[in-house]
């Protein structure tokens, strides 16, 4: 590897460690010529599937598009950034390890909805209202009732209930 300081062709690895999330290897290097030290990060490069849109058009997979959609749904919600990052990594791991060369935007959207349902019910409804194209109030009611019937596992126990239950 070339030294970023003097461009010398030879550097040696002093130390290698796995990063905290386990997805990268951090290598501490030293230049043989100028003795400068610097870090490099090694990440496995996985080929993301192409996305088949609803109209049949194919486009390159865009992780940032998924992240923006999730963050928009989670806007002003009490979900810690670490939880969002962890959920995003899990979602990306699932999508990148599919054995498919192409995946429909519908299945990606379904994965995002499932991820949001585990993070925050309100964010899930926000995303679902756009993704599923709710046309009226009844569509919201139907989805909320379906959400209440299903167990999404790791919902945050501190989360405020979507609909307050009253005892009569």
Q: What's this model's pTM, rounded to 2 decimal places?
A: 0.59
Domain hosting residue 38, numbered range = 11-43
Judgement on whether residues 105 and 141 belong to the same structural domain of the protein: yes
* Model confidence at 2: pLDDT above 60: yes
Nearest to 74 by CA among 33, 39, 116: 116
Each residue's pLDDT tens digit, 57-111: 999 989 899 999 999 999 999 999 999 999 988 888 888 888 788 999 989 988 9
Judgement on whether residues 100 and 27 belong to the same structural domain of the protein: no
Judgement on whether residues 68 and 136 belong to the same structural domain of the protein: yes
Is 113 a domain residue?
Answer: yes
Each residue's pLDDT tens digit, 8-29: 999 999 999 998 777 789 999 9
Judgement on whether residues 32 and 86 belong to the same structural domain of the protein: no
Q: What is the dihedral of CA 149, 154, 160, 162, to 10 degrees?
A: -30
Judgement on whether residues 87 and 113 belong to the same structural domain of the protein: yes
Judgement on whether residues 63 and 108 belong to the same structural domain of the protein: yes
Task: From residue 93, give the alpha-carbon distance in Å to each of 21, 88, 142, 161.
Answer: 13, 8, 31, 30
Is 115 a domain residue?
Answer: yes
CATH of the domain at 123: 1.10.472
Judgement on whether residues 35 and 61 belong to the same structural domain of the protein: no
Judgement on whether residues 39 and 72 belong to the same structural domain of the protein: no
Nearest to 143 by CA among 105, 117, 108, 119: 117
Judgement on whether residues 39 and 65 belong to the same structural domain of the protein: no
Each residue's pLDDT tens digit, 29-50: 999 999 999 999 998 777 788 9
* Model confidence at 135: pLDDT above 70: yes
Count of the separate structural domains present in the chain: 2
- Classify the C-alpha dihedral 126-132-133-135 as positive or negative: negative
Nearest to 156 by CA among 69, 72, 70, 74: 74
Is 154 a domain residue?
Answer: no
Q: Cα–Cα distance between 139 and 143 in angstroms, integer?
A: 6
Q: Cα–Cα distance between 31 and 50 in angstroms, integer?
A: 40
Judgement on whether residues 35 and 97 belong to the same structural domain of the protein: no
Is 85 a domain residue?
Answer: yes
Is 3 a domain residue?
Answer: no
Is 75 a domain residue?
Answer: yes
55 CB burial (10 A radius; 0-12, 13-18, 19+) = exposed
């Amino acid at each position: 590897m070339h030294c970023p300081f003097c461009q010398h062709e030879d550097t040696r690895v002093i130390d290698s460690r796995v990063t905290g999330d386990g997805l990268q290897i951090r290598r501490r290097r030293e230049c043989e010529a100028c003795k400068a030290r610097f870090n490099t990060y090694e990440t496995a490069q996985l080929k993301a599937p192409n996305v088949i849109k609803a109209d049949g058009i194919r486009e390159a997979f865009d992780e940032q598009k998924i992240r923006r959609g999730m963050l928009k749904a989670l806007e002003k919600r009490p979900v810690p950034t670490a939880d969002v990052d962890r959920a995003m990594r899990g979602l990306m791991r699932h999508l990148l390890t599919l054995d498919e060369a192409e995946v429909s935007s519908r299945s990606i959207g379904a994965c995002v909805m499932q991820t949001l349902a585990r993070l925050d019910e309100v964010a899930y409804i926000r995303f679902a209202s756009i993704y599923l194209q709710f046309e009226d109030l009844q569509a919201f009611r139907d989805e909320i009732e379906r959400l209440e019937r299903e167990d999404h596992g790791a919902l945050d126990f501190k989360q405020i209930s979507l609909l307050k239950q009253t005892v009569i």
